[in-house]
Structure 1
Amino acid sequence: ESIKAKTGFLANLSHELRGPLGIMMNAVELVLDGLCGTVSEDQRETLEMVRGNGEHLMDLINDVLDYAKIESGRVVPQKTEILVNDLLKDMVGVVRAQAESKSHELSFRSSDEALAISCDKRHIRQKLINLLTNAIKYTPEGGKIQIWAERTARHKIKINVQDSGIGIEQSSRHKVFSAFERIENTYALSQVGTGLGMPLTKKLAEVNGAIIDFSSNPGQGSHFWLIFPAIEVGAQIRMEDRKELPIPLAKGEMLLLIEKDEGERKMIMRYLTHLGYKILSAGSRIEAMELLRNNKFDLAILDNSATEDNSDNIVSALRQDSEKGRLPILMITSRAFVFDIEKYLRMGIDRCLVKPLQLKQLGITCRELIDGTYTGAVIDSSDLDLHETRKQDKASASSTRTRLMELDDLLH
C-alpha cells in the first residue's frame, strides 16, 4: 500500500508540474517563431537558454512520471520492427550537440549487416538517450564516447555504449539501477539528476524483453549494453528517407476552445489563429453554452480542468450543436492513466492530448479530427513522432471497445 501511495503521489505531482511548465515552454516557442514580433539576437540567445533549461526540467519530471507508470504496472510496450543501425545513427544526432559542448569525441560504428529488433520505439529511444547522456555527463571534458551494435551468439543483438569517463566503484555498483540513489563521488554528485534515469532504463528494457548490464572501472570509464532477441529484417521505411510532416494549415474552420487558464487560452488561440483557424473561447461552462447557442463550430477543444464537473453536459451540448453531423471533440488533459482516458472516451471524447501540450502536435491533431483522418484515441506528448505517417482508420473511431484496446497500446 505504501508503494502504491508513493507511486500515485509521484504521478499526480508530475502531472501538476508538467502543465505550467508546458505553458512556459510553448510561450517561449511562440516568441522564438516570431509570432510576437521581431526577436533580436540577444533576445534569441536568452530565450534559447530558457528553452534548454525548460526542456531539461521537463525531462526530469517525465522521468518521475514514467517511473511511476511502470511501478503501477500500466506500461504496455507497442513493439515494432526497429532497424538498429538507423536507430543508433539517429540517437547520435540527438546528443551530438551535448557531446560537442564538452569537447567529447562521439563516434558511431555501423554494423556491416542489417540488424533488427522488436521493441517499443519510444522506449528504445529513451533507453539509449539515457545511456548516451549519462556517458556524456559522467565523462570529463575531452573524453571519448562510442556506440555500436553487433550480433552475438544465440541469435542476439547487443547494443553498446562505452565511455572514457570517471567509472564506477565496485562498492557503488548496486546503486546504478536503484531508484533515487546517486553514486557518491565529487564529480558524480556535481551532476544534476533525479536518480531515476538508469532505474527507468532497466525497467523499460525488462518490459521489452531485453537485458541491460555494464562493466566499469574507476578512472577508466564504463561500458553499458542492451541485449535483444534478433529478428529477421522485413520491409521497413528507413529513418533517413522519412520527411518531416508539415503542419497543416486551416481552411477557415471555426473552433470552440474551452480553457479556464487565461495564459494557456491565449497561447493556444495565438498559435491556431496563426494556422488560419477562427476561434472563439470560453473560460467556463456557462460561457461555452452561450457560444454554442449563437455559433456553429467545426471542432471543440476542451481542457479537462475547465470541464471537470460538467463534462457530460458540455459533451452532450456539443453533440447537439453541429449541423454538419457529429462534431469532433478534442480533450486536453493532465491525466495520463488509462482509467482517466477511459472515462473521457465513454463520455464521447474523440481524442485526448496529454499535457504538456505541444503546439505542433495540436495543429496536426486539429486537422486530422476535422478531416476525419485520425487514428487511435490518445496521444501522449512524449510519444509524438512527426516523422511517422498517419493512416486513415475510421473504424477505430466507431467502437469504444476498439479505441480502449488501442489506448492500452498507445498510452505509456
Structure 2
Amino acid sequence: VNAVAEFGFLHAADERALDLLTQVAGPVGVALRSARYRTELQSLLEATQRQSEELQVQSEELRVSNEELEEQGRALKESAVRLEQQQVELEQTNSQLEEQAQLLENQRDDLARTGAAVELKARELEQSSRYKSDFLANMSHELRTPLNSLLILSKLLGDNPQGNLTAEQTQYARTIQASGNDLLTLINDILDLSKIEAGHIDIRPEAVTLKRLTADLRQTFDPVARDRDLEFEVSIAKDAPAGIATDRLRVEQILKNLLSNAFKFTEAGKVTLRIEPAEDDRLALTVTDTGIGISPEQHQAIFDAFRQADGAINRKYGGTGLGLSISRELARLLGGAIALTSEPGAGSSFTVTIPVSYDPALVEARVEPVAPAVENSPPAIASPKKRRPALLQAVDDDRDRLEGTRRVLLIVEDDHTFAGIVRDLSREVGFQCLVAGTAEEALDLARQFKPSAIVLDLGLPDQSGLSVLDRLKREDSTRHIPIHVVSASDHQQTAFSLGAMGYLVKPVKREDLAQALNVLEAQLTRTMRRVLIVEDDPVQREAVGALLAGPEIEIVGAGTAAECLKLLHEQTFDCIVLDLT
C-alpha cells in the first residue's frame, strides 16, 4: 500500500463513482510510488553529489599532500646532501682542529721550553748581577785602600810642611793628588750607578731645611765660582716651604752633580740655583748656567750612562758622563724627576722636581733596598776580600814601650801604609799606638791592653770588621771603648747600630782623619759626661734629669724628635735616654 485516499460525498456514491475510483487507484498509486522514487533518487543524487564533492576535496587535499610530500622528499634529499656535505666539512674541520691542537701542544711545549730558558737566563742574569756587584764592591775596596794612602801622602808632600821639596816637586805631588781625586770620583760614580741598578740604594728621609741645604752648597761652590771668575746666585722663593722631608744626602748629591756640570761647562757669566714650589705639593730646584748649551737632539742621550753630547766635549772638559745618569735615577728614587731646557750657545737649565714630603708610594718600579738587620749576631756582609798576603814585618807600634799615664789607640788596619799614616797622626795628637793587621790580633790586643780608643777597618783578611765591632761591644771588659770605623765599605748604618761612635769612608782626607782623632781625644779627656733626655712630658723630663744628675753629668733635654735631631747634628752626647712614645 503506497497511500490511502479518503473521499467524502454529499450523497451516496454510485457504482460509476466507485468504478472510477477503482480504475484510477492503480495509476495514482503508480504515480505516488514514482514520485517517492524520484524523491529518493533526488536524495541519492544529492548525496552522491555531496560525496563526489567531498571526494574531489579529498582528492585535492591528497594531491596537495602528495605535492607537499614530494616537496618534503626533495627537501629531505637536499638535507641529506647537505648533511653529507656538512659531514665532509666536519671531518675536514676535525682534521684541522686536530692539526691545530697538535700545533698548540707543540707551541705550548716550545713556550714551556722558552719559559724555562728565560727563567734560567734570569737566574744567570741575577747571578751575573750579584757577581758584578761583588766585583765592583771588591774592586772599590781594593782601589780605595791604596788610593787612600796615595791621597794622604800626596797631600802631605804637596803641603811640604818641612820645606825640603822644590816647587816642581810639590807641583808633582799636587798633580798626583788631583789625579787621585779624579779617580776617586770615577770609582764613586761607578759604585753609585751599580748600587742604583741593583736596587741597593736606601732612601733615608729626614727633615731638611732649605737654608741649611743652600748654605752647604754655597760653602762648596763659592770657592769654585771665585776660581773661575763666575757669579753664583742662590735664591729661595718666598712662598717655598722652610723645609722638606727627604734624603738630604741624595738631594745634595743631585744638586752637586748639576752644579759641578754647570761650572764645568760655563766659561763666562753665572750659575744660579733657584728653589721654588711646584704643583702637586712638590719642590722645584733649578740649576741654570750661561754655558755652552746642549742641542735638542742630545737632551735624552746625556742622561745615559757614559754618554756626553759629543766626543769633543769629553776631550775638552773631561768627565765620565755618569753624573746625570746617577742624578736622574736618584731623583726617581726620591719620587721626582729631572727636566732639561737648553739650546746650543744659550746655556742650560736643569729642573729637579721632588715631593715636599717623601712618600715611597710615589716611587715607580723601585726595588726594595737591602737594609742591614741587627740581631743577636753581627749582620751578614760580603765575605772578607782575598788580598795579597800580609807582610811578615808588622807596622812598628808602641806595645813594648807603653807609658801608663798616656792614652793608647788601637789601630786595626791590614793596609800597612795607611796604618802607618794613622799611627803617625795619632802620635801627633798624643796617643800611644797599637797596630793590628787581623781581626784575631785586634781582639787579643784589645783584651790585653784595654786601649783608650780604637780605629777599625772593616775589610780585614780573616773576618769582617763588623764582627770585631760586635764582639768588642758584647764583652764587658771592652764594651766601653769608643770605636771609630775607617773603611772603604759603606756599612755606616750597620756600624752605628752595633755601637760605633764615628764612621769615615775611604779615601779620607788627612784633615778628616785628624778631626776624628781629635774628637776621640776630646771625648777621652772630657770629665763631664753629657746625657740627652728625649721626653715630650716636661715633668717626666725633669724627673729623669734629676735622677741622673751628678757633678760630672750635664743634662740636656729635648721635647720633640726634630729638636733631638737638631741637637745630635750640632753636639755630641755620651748617652741618650729616649721615650719611644
TM band (smaller chain): 0.7 to 0.9
Kept in 2, the 8 Å contact 1:321–1:327? The answer is no
2:506 is the alignment partner of 1:355:
yes
Return closer, same or farther for 1:202/1:252 CA change in 2, 3 Å cut-off.
farther
Indicate which of 251, 254, 271 corresponds to 1:124.
251
Give the aligned residue type for 2:435.
S
Give the aligned residue type for 2:223.
A
1:258: which partner in 2?
A: 412
Give CA deviations for 1:182-235 in whole Å, capped at 9, x if unaligned: 22152344222222100111111122222211111122221101112336xxxx
2:321 is the alignment partner of 1:195:
yes
Give the aligned residue type for 1:356.
P
Indicate which of 336, 339, 342 corresponds to 1:216.
342
Give CA deviations for 1:147-188 in whole Å, capped at 9, x if unaligned: 212223444321111112222222222212212222215234
1:37: which partner in 2?
A: 162
Matches within 5 A, 1:6-405: 6-30=132-156, 37-38=162-163, 42=167, 47-113=173-239, 115=241, 116-139=243-266, 141-230=267-356, 252-284=406-438, 291=445, 295-309=449-463, 326-336=480-490, 353-357=504-508, 358-360=512-514, 362-363=516-517, 366=520, 388-392=569-573, 394=575
Cα distance in 2 for residues equivalent to 1:361 and 1:374: 23
Cα distance in 1 for residues equivalent to 2:302 and 2:211: 27
Give CA deviations for 1:209-266 in whole Å, capped at 9, x if unaligned: 22211111122221101112336xxxxxxxxxxxxxxxxxxx9421222322221111
What is the Cα deviation at residue 134 of structure 1?
0.7
Larger CA deviation: 85-94 vs 214-223:
85-94
Cα distance in 2 for residues equivalent to 1:84 and 1:335: 30
Larger CA deviation: 57-66 vs 297-306:
297-306
Give the aligned residue type for 1:279.
C
SS at match of 1:176: helix
Cα distance in 1 for residues equivalent to 2:459 and 2:471: 18
**Unpaired runs of at least 5, structure 2:** 1-124, 358-404, 533-567
SS at match of 2:307: coil
SS at match of 1:265: helix
Cα distance in 2 for residues equivalent to 1:158 and 1:312: 40
Larger CA deviation: 108-117 vs 125-134:
108-117
Cα distance in 1 for residues equivalent to 2:225 and 2:236: 19
Cα distance in 2 for residues equivalent to 1:41 and 1:173: 47
Q: Identity of aligned pairs, percent?
A: 27
Give the aligned residue type for 1:151.
P
Cα distance in 2 for residues equivalent to 1:124 and 1:319: 34
Give the aligned residue type for 1:130.
N
Kept in 2, the 8 Å contact 1:302–1:332? The answer is yes
Cα distance in 1 for residues equivalent to 2:442 and 2:225: 50
Cα distance in 1 for residues equivalent to 2:469 and 2:257: 41
Give CA deviations for 1:75-122 in whole Å, capped at 9, x if unaligned: 222222223244234313312333344333332334335533222111
Give CA deviations for 1:302-337 in whole Å, capped at 9, x if unaligned: 434445248799779967997576545555433336
Give the aligned residue type for 1:192.
G
SS at match of 2:291: coil
Kept in 1, the 8 Å contact 2:298–2:309? The answer is yes
Kept in 2, the 8 Å contact 1:11–1:64? The answer is no
Kept in 2, the 8 Å contact 1:296–1:322? The answer is no
| TM-score of the aligned structures, taking structure 2 as reference length | 0.53
Cα distance in 2 for residues equivalent to 1:72 and 1:176: 21
Give the aligned residue type for 1:117.
I
Cα distance in 2 for residues equivalent to 1:67 and 1:313: 28
Q: Looking at CA atoms only, which structure, 1 or 2, has the larger radius of gyration?
A: 2
1:243: which partner in 2?
A: none
Kept in 2, the 8 Å contact 1:365–1:374? The answer is no
Q: Comparing both chains, which one has the higher relative contact order based on Cα–Cα distances under 8 Å and sequence gaps of 6 or more?
A: 1
Cα distance in 2 for residues equivalent to 1:104 and 1:217: 20
What is the Cα deviation at residue 288 of structure 1?
5.0
SS at match of 2:300: helix
SS at match of 1:190: helix
Return closer, same or farther for 1:55/1:207 CA change in 2, 3 Å cut-off.
same
Give the aligned residue type for 2:449.
N
Return closer, same or farther for 1:166/1:4 CA change in 2, 3 Å cut-off.
farther
Return closer, same or farther for 1:221/1:343 CA change in 2, 3 Å cut-off.
closer
Corresponding pairs, count? 363
What is the Cα deviation at residue 365 of structure 1?
6.5
Cα distance in 1 for residues equivalent to 2:468 and 2:332: 42
Give the aligned residue type for 2:299.
R
Kept in 2, the 8 Å contact 1:63–1:196? The answer is yes
1:247: which partner in 2?
A: none
Q: Which has the higher helix share?
A: 2
Cα distance in 1 for residues equivalent to 2:297 and 2:212: 37
Give the aligned residue type for 2:340.
F
Give the aligned residue type for 2:287.
V
Cα distance in 2 for residues equivalent to 1:40 and 1:290: 42
Cα distance in 1 for residues equivalent to 2:236 and 2:468: 55
Kept in 1, the 8 Å contact 2:158–2:171? The answer is no
Larger CA deviation: 109-118 vs 213-222:
109-118
Kept in 2, the 8 Å contact 1:374–1:391? The answer is no
| TM-score of the aligned structures, taking structure 1 as reference length | 0.72
Larger CA deviation: 298-307 vs 121-130:
298-307
Kept in 1, the 8 Å contact 2:411–2:454? The answer is yes
Return closer, same or farther for 1:152/1:96 CA change in 2, 3 Å cut-off.
same
